[in-house]
Amino acid sequence: MAESKKSATLTLDGKTYDLPVHSPTLGPDVLDIRKLYGEADVFTFDPGFTSTAACESAITYIDGDKGELLHRGYPIEQLAAHSSYVEVCYLLLYGELPTASQLADFKSRITRHTMVHEQMHNFFRGFRRDSHPMATMVGVVGAMSAFYHDSLDINDPWQREVAAIRMVAKLPTIAAMAYKYSVGQPFVYPKNALSYAGNFLHMCFAVPAEDYVVNPILEKAMDRIMMLHADHEQNASTSTVRLAGSSGANPFACIAAGIACLWGPAHGGANQACLEMLKEIGTVDRIPEFVAKAKDKNSGFRLMGFGHRVYKNFDPRATVMKESADEVLGLLGVDNNPLLQVAKELERIALSDDYFVSKKLYPNVDFYSGIILEAMGFPTSMFTPIFAISRTVGWISQWKEMIGEKNQKIGRPRQLYIGSPKRDYVDIRHR
């Protein structure tokens, strides 16, 4: 960390404390409170970490007011227009865009790790057929620690690298197997001649009884969905991966923890919840009823796919995803699909409604991704697993960054205790 040139002063009970202020390359200054507890015997209180930088990171930068998302400095719009998911994986993992030979080598390493240990097939068979694919993924990715013993040593940079490649390569296979298992079809092995996105579509939709040819439009759309979900700074699942990793847990266990966190409807589960909400609304005339419910604090209902903790202007991923949705639905000839009509009208009404405008609630990436995935033929239960495949590279990049830090410490937040003061045990006969 660079020497801080500024400082802030905190006055507490008549005593003053100097707090160093660090200036990042981009974004607001950061008050360094690390010594505060030791010197002043106070904690800071910040549930939900809305004002707390928990780490230094050089991977992703978000400016929520400008609606800006940069990976290693490159704007997401430029990456979406010119790059590919696998190239973005390289960028996130290694910090720079690859040369042609570096990219070819990386692709070949990813491709050669797409198969899972054959014994893992038995592991899948232990799940109920109606398990949610996210439940299966949490279990199977965690179980990778039991299959790949030669990449568990977090202190060995080579083993960390192998674990990273294994997870980026195998997550599509695992997600597709979870899907195939849930629909009672045989597992489809990876085909290394296909692209990363094309291979995933093939593993999901091919059956032994007939040929499946990957549609290049859908392949491109899938690549873009993956790219737009690849990393997103210190979000809940990434912070979970970092926290799990801070104890020295193995990388497969950490990513399984990230998948579990992603599953929630306020995070990655929002794409499934959003599509289910659009289906429940059903027709355009019912939108006002749902908008009114979302505005009613007592209803507990939120418009899924709207709002974001950081973006308070627009979600740049949503802009790209919306273009992709129009393109895919147009090309598939389903642009007058009733679900899409409901989505478009809901978007129009919410964007002009004072409640949503004043609270800066805009459609987020999940609002559009579900519509594309539905048009591709995925059941809603596969939406969050596809997010998990895509985010794996972000989790791994952040985990590797953390493990590589010299002064890395176990994550251990403190609390504002509001329970009973100390009291004496009362015998059961006298309670």
Q: Which residues carry out catalysis?
A: 308, 366
268 makes contact with ligand CMC (CB under 6 A): yes
Contacts of 337 (CB under 8 A, 6+ apart): 329, 375
Task: Report the C-alpha gap between 35 and 229 in whole angstroms.
Answer: 36
251 makes contact with ligand CMC (CB under 6 A): no
Amino acid at position 342, single letter:
V
Task: Report the C-alpha gap between 61 and 170 in whole angstroms.
Answer: 27
Task: Report the C-alpha gap between 278 and 290 in whole angstroms.
Answer: 10
Which residues, numbered 172-231, are part of the site for ligand CMC (CB under 6 A)? none
Report which residue's Cβ sits closest to ligand CMC.
307
Task: Report the C-alpha gap between 190 and 203 in whole angstroms.
Answer: 6
| Tokens 């950081």 found at | 310
Per DSSP (E only), the strands in 94-204 are none
- Give whichever of 195 and 234 is closer to ligand CMC, judged by the CB atom: 234
391 makes contact with ligand CMC (CB under 6 A): no
Pick from 287, 303, 328, 346 the residue near ligand CMC by CB under 6 A: 303
22 makes contact with ligand CMC (CB under 6 A): no
Q: What mask, x for binding ligand CMC by CB under 6 A, covers residues 330 to 369?
A: -----------------------------x-x--xxx---
266 makes contact with ligand CMC (CB under 6 A): yes
Which residues, numbered 394-423, are part of the site for ligand CMC (CB under 6 A)? none
Using CB atoms within 10 A of its CB, is residue 302 exposed (0-12), middle (13-18) or buried (19+)?
Answer: middle
Phi and psi for 249 in degrees, rounded to 5? Answer: -60, 155
Q: Which among 270, 95, 105, 259 is positioned nearest to 167, based on CA atoms?
A: 259
Smallest separation, CB 393 to ligand CMC (Å): 16
What is the chain's Cα-based Rg?
A: 23
Size, binding site for ligand CMC by CB under 6 A = 19
Smallest separation, CB 229 to ligand CMC (Å): 8
- Give whichever of 22 and 302 is closer to ligand CMC, judged by the CB atom: 302
- Give whichever of 235 and 246 is closer to ligand CMC, judged by the CB atom: 235
Q: Beta strand 30-31 with 68-71: parallel, antiparallel or unpaired?
A: unpaired
- Give whichever of 162 and 388 is closer to ligand CMC, judged by the CB atom: 388
Name the site residues for ligand CMC (rule: CB under 6 A).
235, 266-268, 270, 294, 302-309, 359, 361, 364-366
